[in-house]
Amino acid sequence: MKKLIGIAAAGAMLVALAGCASAGGGTADGPKPLDELVVGFAQVGAESGWRTANTKDIQSAFEEAGIELKFSDAQQKQENQIKAIRSYIQQQVDVIAFSPVVETGWDAVLNEAKAAGIPVVLTDRAVDSKDDSLYVSFLGSDFVEEGKKAGQWVLEEYADATEPVEIIQLEGTTGAAPAIDRAEGFAEVIAENPALEVVASQTGDFTRAGGKQVTEALLKSNPGVDLIYAHNDDMGLGAIEAIEAAGLVPGKDIKIVTVDAVKDGMQALADGKINFIVECSPLLGKQLIEIVKQINDGEAPEKRIITEETTFTQEQAIEALPDRQY
Ligand code: GYE
Domains of the chain (ranges; CATH) run 34-140+282-308 (3.40.50.2300), 143-280 (3.40.50.2300)
Q: Are strands 165-171 and 227-230 parallel, antiparallel or unpaired?
A: parallel
Ligand 1 atom closest to the Cα of residue 45 is 10
User: What are the DSSP calls for 253-297, one per residue?
Assistant: TBEEEEEE--HHHHHHHHTTSS-EEEE-----HHHHHHHHHHHHT
Q: Which of 206, 259, 279, 306 to mutate to test the pocket of ligand 1 (most atoms within 8 A of CB)?
A: 206
Mean pLDDT of the chain: 92
Query: What is the Cα–Cα distance from 255 to 277, expressed in whole angstroms?
Result: 12
Residue 291 — very low, low, confident or very high, per pLDDT cuts 50/70/90? Answer: very high
Burial of 202 (0-12, 13-18, 19+ CB in 10 A): middle
pLDDT tens-digit profile of 113-124? 999 999 999 999
Residue 257 — very low, low, confident or very high, per pLDDT cuts 50/70/90? Answer: very high
Q: How far is the CA of 160 from the centre of ligand 1 (A)?
A: 32
- Cβ-contact 235, 170 below 8 angstroms: yes
For residue 27, what pLDDT is reported? 52
Asked whether residue 80 carries a pLDDT value surpassing 80, the answer given is yes
Q: Which residues pair with 27 in a beta bridge?
A: 30
Q: How far is the CA of 205 from the centre of ligand 1 (A)?
A: 10
pLDDT tens-digit profile of 128-173? 999 999 999 999 999 999 999 999 999 999 999 989 999 999 999 9
Q: How far is the CA of 318 from the centre of ligand 1 (A)?
A: 23
Sequence-ordered list of residues with C-beta below 8 angstroms from that of 3, at least 6 positions apart, any chain: none
Q: What is the DSSP letter of 254?
A: B
pLDDT tens-digit profile of 187-243? 999 999 999 999 999 999 999 999 999 999 999 999 999 999 999 999 999 999 999
Q: How far is the CA of 179 from the centre of ligand 1 (A)?
A: 9
Q: How far is the CA of 55 from the centre of ligand 1 (A)?
A: 12
Q: Which of 44, 47, 48, 146 to mutate to test the pocket of ligand 1 (most atoms within 8 A of CB)?
A: 48
Residue nearest (by alpha carbon) to ligand 1 atom 8: 178
Q: Which residues line ligand 1 (CB under 6 A)?
A: 47-48, 50-51, 124-125, 178, 206, 232, 234, 259-260, 280
Which of 300, 289, 301 lies closest to 20, judged by CA?
300
Q: Which of 43, 44, 50 to mutate to test the pocket of ligand 1 (most atoms within 8 A of CB)?
A: 50
Q: Which of 51, 102, 174 to mutate to test the pocket of ligand 1 (most atoms within 8 A of CB)?
A: 51
Q: How far is the CA of 223 from the centre of ligand 1 (A)?
A: 28
**Helices and strands: H and E segment counts in the chain:** 11, 12
Give the whole-number percent of the chain exceeding pLDDT 70.
91
Query: What is the Cα–Cα distance from 175 to 48, expressed in whole angstroms?
Result: 17
Q: Which residues pair with 71 in a beta bridge?
A: 41
For residue 159, what pLDDT is reported? 97
Query: What is the Cα–Cα distance from 299 to 301, expressed in whole angstroms?
Result: 6
Question: What are the backbone angles phi and psi of residue 129, rounded to the nearest 5°?
Answer: -135, 145
Ligand 1 atom closest to the Cα of residue 176 is 4
